[in-house]
Amino acid sequence: MLDTMMPFLTDNFANAASTHPFGISAHEAVKTARQQVADLLGCETHELVFTSGATEAINLAIKGVAENYSSKGKHIITVQTEHKAVLDVCVYLEKRGYEVTYLPVQPDGLLDLAVLQAAIRPDTILVSVMLVNNETGVIQPIEQIADIAHEAGAFFMTDATQAVGKLPIDVDKYNIDLLAFSGHKFYGPKGVGGLFVRQRRPNKVKLEALLHGGGHERGLRSGTLNVPGIVGIGKAAELARLEMAGAKETGTPERQRIESLRNKLETALLTIPGTRINGSPSNRLYNATNIYFENCDSDALIMGLEGIAVSNGSACTAASIDPSHVLLTMGLTEIEAFSCLRFSLGRFNTEADVVATVDAIKGVVEELRALV
């Protein structure tokens, strides 16, 4: 990926909107990247808007729908376990006269479709439900959710940041109208992401822009394009698509290898007394697990793990002193929510990493419980 980006970091600094030969070269590179991302999502190239990441994409999607379809209604539905990028935008819109329904989830983290069905109204303009939860890995049934939204004449949006590049996604198969993603979640560069905006009937979406100034990205995101970042996310998208479709030299698809490592990690950690999985064990992403450790403060656990990167919530709220809103919504107490760790495995993890992590955590848990 870096090799693909380097020419635009060292030799060609041109604006992709320029008409001189250097600008045309940059434009062609962006065009290629747009096709690579479109192939990953199963969409058309003109339905992609490149952004600085999922947070900006989410803001553009929700605010754009709210402003452009307010004549139909001002009711939005989302879920209490969404990423803060979604929840904070909804709070912002509530202050401006919109009504937002925040649906609860069941103890396993899954949305009850009957609850959604009961909440939707004739004036609902948008239903926003994330595909994969960023803390628990729980996968929501978005195809059925989209059907419920469309039956009521509302658009369906999903924050697919944790899923793109890891799970096969086809925006037509899942009836998605808006989809946000970030490049760094599938080994692309940080600071670049995008938004899929359906431009085909029957659910063609028209958004109001957040940024104005030059009419870039079909008028939806003005500003000089981040050519190196876009080229990087394009290559990352291509590699992710090929990896999901093919196999490594061992003959084992990468997904199966990572899932096997996750399962070994999880099985070993669950032998520790007073532990359990948070979220549905069957409807979740293959690389993630969220585990409760009784009588162990998660911050203390993390501080005791030298050279091992785990988290106790979303990285985007790492500075927060509040317990995870996701775990609280799933029914955990505040004390329990402060005693959980999120583990994510990826392309570069090995079995040796799993063994070292298990040994380290068992040691720290034993030390912490001895203090109680």
Question: What's the rounded Cα separation, in Å, for the pair 88 and 94?
Answer: 10
Active-site residue, selected from the candidate residues 43, 296, 316, 340: 316
Q: Among 211, 233, 231, which residue's Cα sits nearest to residue 222?
A: 211
Residues 6+ apart with CB under 8 A from 361: 269, 272, 301, 305, 341
Report the alpha-carbon angle 55-56-58, nearest 5.
65
CA neighbor of 132 nearest in space, from 88, 86, 84, 82: 82
CATH of domain 254-370: 3.90.1150.10
Q: What is the dihedral of CA 316, 40, 282, 302, to 10 degrees?
A: -30
pLDDT of residue 319: 55
Angle among Cα 146, 152, 154 to the nearest 5 degrees reads 60
Q: Which of 277, 279, 259 is nearest to 345 (CA)?
A: 259
Biggest CA-to-CA distance, the chain: 69
8 A C-beta contact, residue 65 and residue 126: yes
SS3 248: coil
* In the chain, where the domains are located: 2-244, 254-370
Residues 82-122 pLDDT 10s: 999 999 999 999 999 999 999 999 999 999 999 999 999 99
Q: Is 316 a catalytic residue?
A: yes
Tokens of 297: 């403060």
Q: pLDDT tens for residues 296-339? A: 999 999 999 999 999 987 655 555 678 999 999 999 999 999 99
Burial call 23-37: b when 16+ CB within 10 Å, e when fewer: bebbbebbeebbbbb
At residue 201, the pLDDT reads 86
Which pTM was predicted?
A: 0.94
pLDDT in tens, the chain (372 residues): 889 999 889 988 888 988 898 899 999 999 999 999 999 999 999 999 999 999 999 999 999 999 999 999 999 999 999 999 999 999 999 999 999 999 999 999 999 999 999 999 999 999 999 999 999 999 999 999 999 999 999 999 999 999 999 999 999 999 999 999 999 999 999 999 999 999 998 899 999 999 999 899 988 999 999 999 999 999 999 999 998 887 445 556 788 999 999 999 999 999 999 999 999 999 999 999 999 999 999 999 999 999 999 998 765 555 567 899 999 999 999 999 999 999 999 999 999 999 999 999 999 999 999 987
**Domain 2-244 belongs to what topology?**
Aspartate Aminotransferase; domain 2 (3.40.640)
Task: Write down the pLDDT at residue 131.
Answer: 98
Q: Contact at 8 Å (CB) between 154 and 126? A: yes
